[in-house]
């Protein structure tokens, strides 16, 4: 059966997360609804990365299988695909956009075949009404050098039990972090992290606890101990979701 990937971007402010939930509006429920209206049939989507409520994405993916020949009904396949995208995006609300739909191998999986995910967390220091939905206002004193040192400590472990929220249902807490750094860019302080996988609440836990360290509430030694301790009793998950963006999901053949 043919399999298709859907690439999406969205502002997550209004949504209860990425994956479909009972009695909640999610990115998946909106995209499935648009597909059903366009093609007159139901679709069951599988997601690549389950962003939490309020988290945004510049790139995320779904895949689905269908017997229907969705995109080859006219001679000019590219033109027809663009018509499909236009129609779907006309149905979707303005804070979700489908950027691509394309056929892949029948065994290609948008979640399990992804080799890395990249997140960025945005912080702004001076009050600005245009940033309030997409970055965290943090006007307190921060030691940038300590932030960088804390980000480097994160690279020394693979067990992120300390940064997963309680009742996270996974087989293990092992993640391979390939990049962990803070940068200052224009009016933002940005945490950039790349890994093969992320746990529920992990990036917000990392950011909140690093900010606690850089603000002098705990020492770097205490931060390192939290990383090694493998429990989340002293992890700070208070960083709000609206500062977090899923930037890229990478595949070996996409």
pLDDT tens, residue by residue, 153-196 = 999 999 999 999 877 778 899 999 999 999 999 999 999 999 99
Region 88-102: mean pLDDT is 97
State the average pLDDT for the chain: 93
Q: pTM of the entire structure?
A: 0.93
Region 11-31: mean pLDDT is 93
Q: Is the pLDDT assigned to residue 80 strictly greater than 80? A: no
Which H or E element spans position 38?
helix 27-39
Region 112-123: mean pLDDT is 98
Region 211-231: mean pLDDT is 95
Query: Binding site: which residues?
Result: 119
Query: Which of 106-133 are b and which e, b meaning 16 or more Cβ less than 10 Å from the residue's Cβ?
Result: eebebeebbeebbbbbbbbeeeeeebee
Model pLDDT, residue 23 = 84
Region 214-237: mean pLDDT is 95
Has 95 been annotated as catalytic?
no
Strand partners, 133: none
Q: Is the pLDDT assigned to residue 77 strictly greater than 70? A: no
Model pLDDT, residue 184 = 96
Number of Cα atoms under 13 Å in the Cβ half of residue 31: 32
Query: Binding site for substrate: which residues?
Result: 119
Domains of the chain, first to last: 3-104 (3.30.70.580), 119-249 (3.30.70.660)
User: What percent of the chain is predicted at pLDDT more than 70?
Assistant: 94
Cα dihedral sign, 57-60-66-70: positive
Cα Rg, the chain, nearest whole Å? 20
Tens of pLDDT, residue by residue over 28-73, are: 999 999 999 999 989 999 999 989 999 999 999 999 998 776 665 5
Which candidate in 52, 65, 107, 236 is catalytic? Answer: 52
């Amino acid at each position: 059966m043919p399999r298709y990937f859907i690439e999406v971007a969205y502002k997550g402010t209004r949504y209860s997360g990425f994956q479909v939930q009972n009695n909640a509006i999610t990115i998946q429920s909106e995209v499935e609804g648009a597909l059903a209206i366009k093609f007159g049939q139901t679709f069951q989507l599988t997601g690549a990365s389950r962003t939490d409520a309020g988290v945004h994405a510049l790139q995320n993916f779904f895949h689905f299988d269908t017997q229907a020949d969705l995109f080859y009904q006219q001679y000019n396949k590219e033109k027809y695909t663009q018509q499909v995208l236009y129609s779907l995006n006309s149905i979707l609300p303005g804070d979700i956009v489908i950027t691509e739909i394309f056929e892949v191998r029948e065994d290609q999986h948008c979640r399990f075949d992804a080799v890395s995910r990249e997140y960025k967390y945005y912080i702004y220091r001076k009050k600005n009404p245009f940033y309030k939905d997409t970055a965290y206002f943090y006007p307190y004193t921060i030691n940038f050098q300590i932030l960088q040192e804390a980000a480097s400590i994160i690279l020394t472990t693979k067990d992120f039990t300390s940064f997963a929220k309680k009742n996270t249902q996974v087989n293990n807490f092992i993640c391979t972090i390939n990049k962990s750094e803070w940068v200052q860019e224009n009016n933002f302080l940005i945490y950039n992290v790349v890994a093969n996988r992320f746990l529920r609440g992990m990036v917000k836990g990392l950011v909140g606890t690093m900010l606690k360290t850089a603000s002098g509430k705990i020492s770097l030694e205490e931060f390192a101990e939290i990383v090694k301790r493998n429990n989340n009793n002293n992890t700070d998950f208070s960083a709000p979701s609206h500062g977090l963006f899923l930037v890229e999901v990478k595949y070996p053949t996409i």
